[in-house]
Amino acid sequence: MSPAVAYLFPAFGMRYRSPVLPRLAGFDEEHDRLVTIASEVVSLEIATDGGSQPVLTGDSLSQSLQEHYFSYITSNALAAVAARSGVTCTHAAGYSMGLFAALTHCSALSYEDGLRLIEHVVRVAHEVAKDGDYGMGAAIGLTVGEVGALIDRGAFAVEIADVTADRVVVVAGQKSEVEKTLEMCLGEGCLSTKMLPVKLPFHSSWMGPAEAKIKAFLPRIRIRPPRCQLVSAASQSVLHNEATVAGELSSNIVSPLNWRGTMQVLLEAGVKTLIECGFSEHLCKLARSLGWSAQTYHPKCFDRLAEGA
């Protein structure tokens, strides 16, 4: 039996602090190929030199589109590089909008349809949130129960959007209310807080009207059963057929996540190797923080993948 290996696909905005990366064998060629295809499907305006930071211009919607295209393209290119090293993907999970790259790598979506979906979802997300001033933030050092109690006490217009780890909780809502929530968390013993570089309340009920609009778009694309065990970051269930994938796509930006629970599902499935397919090491660090003894790889150490195959 082949060893269980999970490919993890980070969300947009998860980046190395330094744009300098080691040269990855085969990455530039795969990246350039995918950029060429993407340019024929969507309006691609970002710098495409293979760096870890996109160059963004235009209004908020334009920047958001380009940021998501960049993440999708680089994640698919990095997943292809990892696969060529001989480490086969048996399980996968996408964090937030990393879902699209995960679905593409698992052959549930074509690369082109993934791009079309991203464009539609991002446009819909901006449309439903156009009249609000929203934000997202993270509290490090309190449990989800403790953060939830503080939200209730302050009656803040804020919801829990993700339980990233045992004591890492992401909240979303009105920006000023998110800031108040994080301030209260600090006063209650939270180790640190930070506002995230996100202007929309992803994974909260404020995105609710988007669900029907995304569902209505799905007949325009072809959905297939994933070829590997793809675990939902929202429900922690395995997306095993067209119907479950369609449901996940419709509700992804509306449903709160539980990345901690998603990692637990992979752990219980016997996954011993985690490969982060994005210019990021955040998901690998989170896995290690859980005390998981899995081998973790991100692009800066992809050169060691062949050794572990």
Q: Which of 152, 169, 195 is the last residue of a domain?
A: 195
Same domain as 139, residue 111: no
Same domain as 216, residue 188: no
Distance of CA 22 to the CA centre of its chain: 23
* Tens digit of each residue's pLDDT (9 = 90 or more) over 190-199: 999 999 989 9
| Domain count along the chain | 2
| Domain that residue 149 falls in | 134-195
Residue 1, pLDDT > 60, answer: no
pLDDT band at 21 (very low <50, low <70, confident <90, very high): low
Task: Evaluate whether residue 200 is within a structural domain.
Answer: no
Task: Evaluate whether residue 13 is within a structural domain.
Answer: yes
Residue 301, pLDDT > 90, answer: no
* Tens digit of each residue's pLDDT (9 = 90 or more) over 99-136: 999 999 999 999 999 999 999 999 999 999 998 999 99
CB 82 within 8 A of CB 305: yes
C-alpha 98/C-alpha 285 separation (Å) is: 17
pLDDT of residue 308: 54
Same domain as 70, residue 145: no
Q: Which of 148, 172, 195 is the last residue of a domain?
A: 195
* Tens digit of each residue's pLDDT (9 = 90 or more) over 24-58: 888 889 999 999 999 999 999 876 444 566 777 77
pTM score over 0.75: yes
Three-state DSSP class for residue 127? helix
Same domain as 212, residue 97: yes
**Residue 141: CATH number of its domain:** 3.30.70.250
Token pair for 223? 């959905």
Same domain as 210, residue 161: no
Token pair for 268? 């219980």
C-alpha 29/C-alpha 86 separation (Å) is: 18
Same domain as 139, residue 125: no
Cβ-Cβ contacts under 8 Å for 80 (sequence gap 6 or more): 26, 30
C-alpha 17/C-alpha 239 separation (Å) is: 33
**Residue 281: CATH number of its domain:** 3.40.366.10
